[in-house]
Amino acid sequence: MNKLSFASLGLLWCPLAALAAEGDHGGGPLQIDLGLQLWVVLTFVVMMGLLAKLAFKPIADALEKRGATIKSQLDEAEKSRADAKKLMENYQAQIAEARAEAGKILDEARVLSEKVRKELVDKANAESAALVQRAQEEIVRQKEKGVQELKDTVANLSVQIASRVIEREVNEATHRQLVDGLIKDLANIRKA
């Protein structure tokens, strides 16, 4: 038997022994029947023995098993909490990394857009400079062409005037030489 059974027997046996020691003092309401008390104690001891053998151990085992289950569930809950905390930290780290990456991409986009803007401005400036250069060259060509046309016109007019003046004494080749000489003289005067 275990300690609980002996303690229970001791608690029951002490009052019974005290009453029996007083003896038989009459037939009052507190009269103790020693035979009945003996059977009660014996029944109690047998029941305690049966309970100790059949019930206490399975109950203790069930309580121990339940305690182990609760402990393992607490351990699993703690592990799950630690895993959840770790996942949260990983998630927060990924968010921070994504934010840093987004900032980096935005910075790169700003730099690239500034570079593209500068290239476009430089290209537009170069094209406008080339366009101005071509326009100036075209103006010079048109001016030279106009001067040449003016020379040709002056030469033709000079020939016509000279032929009227000379009245056909000079042929066209001579007229041409006279006009070319006049044009050269005009060009020399203009350069000077």
- What are the tens digits of pLDDT across the range 23-82? 444 555 677 788 898 999 999 999 988 888 888 888 888 899 999 999 999 999 999 999
Count Cβ atoms below 10 Å from residue 48 Cβ, excluding itself.
Answer: 19
Q: Is a pLDDT exceeding 80 seen at residue 104? A: yes
Query: For the chain, what are the domain ranges?
Result: 140-191
Q: pTM here?
A: 0.37
CA-to-CA distance for 47 and 41, rounded, in angstroms?
10
Per the document, the length of the chain is 192
What stretch of H or E contains 157? Answer: helix 57-166
Cα 20 to the chain's mean position, in Å?
Answer: 89
Residue from 183, 175, 180, 171 nearest 159 by CA = 175
